[in-house]
Amino acid sequence: MVRNYFSAMSLLVTGYLFYTHHPHWQGFFSAEYHLNSLVITGNEILLGLVCLYSVCLLPFYLSLPDTYQPKSRRFWAALAGIKRGCLSERDKTALLATLVKFFFLPMMLIWLIEHVESLIRHWEGYFITGTFFPAGYWFIFQIILLVDVFFFVLAYAVEHPKLGNEIRSVEPTLFGWLVALICYPPFNGMTNQILGWHSADYPEYQTVIMQNIAGTAMLIFMAVYAWGSAALNLKAGNLTHRGIVRHGPYRWVRHPAYTAKNVAWWIGAFPLLAAELQVSYSGFVFAVLGMASWTFIYYLRATTEERHLLSDPVYADYCRDVPYRFIPKIY
């Protein structure tokens, strides 16, 4: 238990020092968040997470068998295995799983706090104005994003054999990692520069009727997106295999979150694309191609994930039972 505990704490401290001293992430985590009367920085949130882990890891490891080696401990064994030129599959999985958590957990935690802050702000705006568009819309939109990020934070933070959410394998290909990471900071900044971004979270249509229809559709598709994350629950995560989920929207399609998110993006893109068309036909074409490229990236994410998961016979059975990737009864 002692070895398990200190192997985990060494990783936590290393991660904290990296995120608070790396030039890019320093800016990301130095922002202040106003939660009513509480003002807190991203660095303070990270430090609080490390302190919380330092306490919770003790009963966590006491609940495990003495022979159990968590991924934090196998991570160090994997580094030694790389040096010796001998890396077992278990050590490789531990190494990659640790890198996944190292990258995504702090980022998702900050996003969670950002959504809480935005939720409070938009609730106050809705209470003052009493109008659904845009104040009520933004309030519900933030609830949806909060639900989505909450389950990813929880899944990255807690992994236990009794919870059935242990990471069994990690995406083994560089291409699979590439198409996932270019959707997240800091790499998505480069992707945006290449492809551009021509969608809005709150699309502004010219008529009230179209505004109401588009806004409602955006919320519905974003709610389906968050429903997908909630259905994954403690098995949520990028680039990892924690077991197969068949309930929720996964009863009908294999990638409901990707479909819903991309449809919402296209709804948000229509007014901007129409405005671009008024200015320049070539600019309109490039904008459409840019949005289509983003959709294609998510298609690649889905296909690389499936290639990874098909190593599990249970997922192969799931694909036979649910033959549709993105659209029920169609594709």
pLDDT at 65 (0 to 100)? 82
Residue with tokens 């985990």: 8
pLDDT at 132 (0 to 100)? 83
The rounded mean pLDDT for the chain is 92
Start-end of CATH 1.20.120.1630 domains in the chain: 158-331
Residues in the chain where the model's pLDDT stays below 70: none
pTM above 0.75, yes or no: yes
Residue with tokens 């008529």: 207
pLDDT at 93 (0 to 100)? 94
- The end-to-end CA distance of the chain, in Å, is 49
pLDDT at 24 (0 to 100)? 81
pLDDT at 38 (0 to 100)? 87
Virtual torsion, Cα 119, 124, 129, 131, nearest 10 deg: 30
pLDDT at 204 (0 to 100)? 87
Question: 156-207 pLDDT, tens per residue?
Answer: 999 988 899 999 999 999 999 999 999 999 999 999 999 999 999 998 888 8
Q: Are 219 and 137 in contact (CB under 8 A)?
A: yes
Q: Are 20 and 43 in contact (CB under 8 A)?
A: yes
Q: Rounded to whole angstroms, how far apart are CA atoms 140 and 227?
A: 14
Q: Are 210 and 147 in contact (CB under 8 A)?
A: no
pLDDT at 81 (0 to 100)? 84
Strands 169-170 and 38-41: unpaired
Q: Which CATH number fits domain 158-331: 3.40.1390.20, 1.20.120.1630, 1.10.760.10, 3.10.180.10?
A: 1.20.120.1630
